[in-house]
Each structure stands twice: as structure tokens, then as C-alpha cells.
């Protein structure tokens, strides 16, 4: 199944809130996926098909060689922004 990972500083609060918003968006789109959230220190070893994080973490991601698409959000819990940015990636991966 499609794996989507959200990332924030401690991997507890805002990535989790973001994950719950993504969950709602995916339900609207009718896409099934396995969701999880983690902290920025652990993302180097993480396995996922799509990673989402806040814009403020964009530079941090440059340290890692991630081979999956990454999406950076201005507003972590804004469903419209998530839908807008996630839909093309889902189409590209053939999930939509």
C-alpha cells in the first residue's frame, strides 16, 4: 500500500496534525494509504512513497538523499493546500 510520511521537529504534534488532515483529504479523494509521522532526525532512514513537511524544513531535507517525492506545505493543516499539492503527486504515482 502507498506509504505517506509527515515530518516535523519532534515528530509528535504538528506532523501528527498534518497527518490527520491528509487522512481527511485522502478519504475525499478515495485513496487508500498507510500514514505515519516522524521527526526530522529520523527521516534519513525512513521508508515512504511520499513525504510531507513544513516549508520551514525544506533546507533540512537537502542533507538527505531521499528518492521519493517530497512536498513542503505553508500551512500544515490546510486541506485545500494539501489537496492541491498532493493530487499531482498521487497521479504521478498512479494512485489516483
Partner 1 sequence: MQILNFIIQNILTQAAVVIGLIACLGLALQKKSIGAIVSGTMKTILGFLVLSAGSSVIQASLAIFGDLFNKAFGLKGLVASIEGINGQAMTDLGLGSEIAITLAGIFIVNIVLARVTKFKYIFLTGQALLWESTLCVVFAYFCGLRGVPLILVGSIVGGAFATLMPAFAQPIMRQITGSDDIALGHFCTFGYMFTALISKITGNKSKSTEDINLPKSLEFLQDTYLSVMVVMVPFYLIVAIAAGPETCAQYCGDTNYIVYMFLQALQFVTGLYVLMSGVRLLLAELVPAFQGISMKLVPDSKPALDCPVLFPYAPNAVILGFIFTTIGSIIGMFLTPMLGLPMILPGVMSNFFAGGTAGIFANQVGGRRGVVIGCIAHGIFIMILPALLSPMLGQIGFQNMTCTDVDTVVTGFFFMIIKSITGIF
Q: Binding partner 1 by CB under 8 A: which of 4, 5, 22, 40?
A: 40
Nearer to partner 1, 53 or 90 (CB): 53
Q: What is the dihedral of CA 35, 53, 21, 81, to 10 degrees?
A: -130
23 grid coordinates: 487522512
Residues 6+ apart with CB under 8 A from 71: 50, 51, 52, 53, 85, 86, 89
Nearer to partner 1, 16 or 93 (CB): 16
Give the interface segment with partner 1, choosing from 25-33, 36-44, 85-93 (CB under 8 A): 36-44
Write out the residues near partner 1 by the rule CB under 8 A. 8-14, 16-18, 20, 23, 37-41, 54-57, 59-60, 73-77
Amino acid at each position: 500500500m502507498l506509504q505517506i510520511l509527515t515530518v516535523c521537529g519532534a515528530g509528535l504534534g504538528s506532523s501528527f496534525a498534518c497527518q490527520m488532515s491528509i487522512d481527511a483529504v485522502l478519504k475525499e479523494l478515495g485513496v487508500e494509504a498507510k500514514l505515519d509521522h516522524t521527526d526530522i532526525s529520523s527521516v534519513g532512514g525512513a521508508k515512504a512513497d511520499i513525504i510531507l513537511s513544513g516549508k520551514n524544513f525544506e533546507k533540512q531535507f537537502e542533507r538527505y538523499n531521499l528518492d521519493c517525492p517530497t512536498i513542503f506545505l505553508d500551512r500544515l493543516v490546510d486541506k485545500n493546500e494539501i489537496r492541491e499539492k498532493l493530487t499531482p503527486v498521487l497521479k504521478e504515482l498512479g494512485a489516483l
